[in-house]
Amino acid sequence: MPDPWADDGPDGRWRVPDGMTTEAVLVRFREQRERSRAIVAGAPLAERAAVGGRFATPAEAPTLGWVLCHLLQEYARHVGQLDVVRELADGAVGE
């Protein structure tokens, strides 16, 4: 199945293809979520990423635990940004 969020736009941004419904996006998200959970469940947190790409040596490769923590930090950062957008849009503040 092709990646619906492929980085193929002229501005280098990821995007949902025209015509893809919200329900289809949610279905794909849930499928990938379950796939990720299965992968993580079968690997120790101390396991390091494969060497290659930006990781030239095994010592540079992050552990699965580091990757998951970084992912959590990114989600938290973006949720915080959404809070700011919401507050600027209509003055509502989360509790």
Q: Spell out the domain ranges in the chain.
A: 1-42, 47-95
Answer for the pair 83, 94: CB distance below 8 angstroms, yes or no.
yes
pLDDT of amino acid 47:
92
pLDDT of amino acid 6:
59
C-alpha gyration radius of the chain: 17
What whole-number distance in Å separates Cα of residue 57 and Cα of residue 88? Answer: 45
Residue type, 93: V
Mean pLDDT split into 10-residue runs, the chain, 95 residues: 59 77 92 93 92 82 92 84 80 72
Phi, psi of 48 (to 5 degrees): -95, 155
pLDDT of amino acid 10:
66
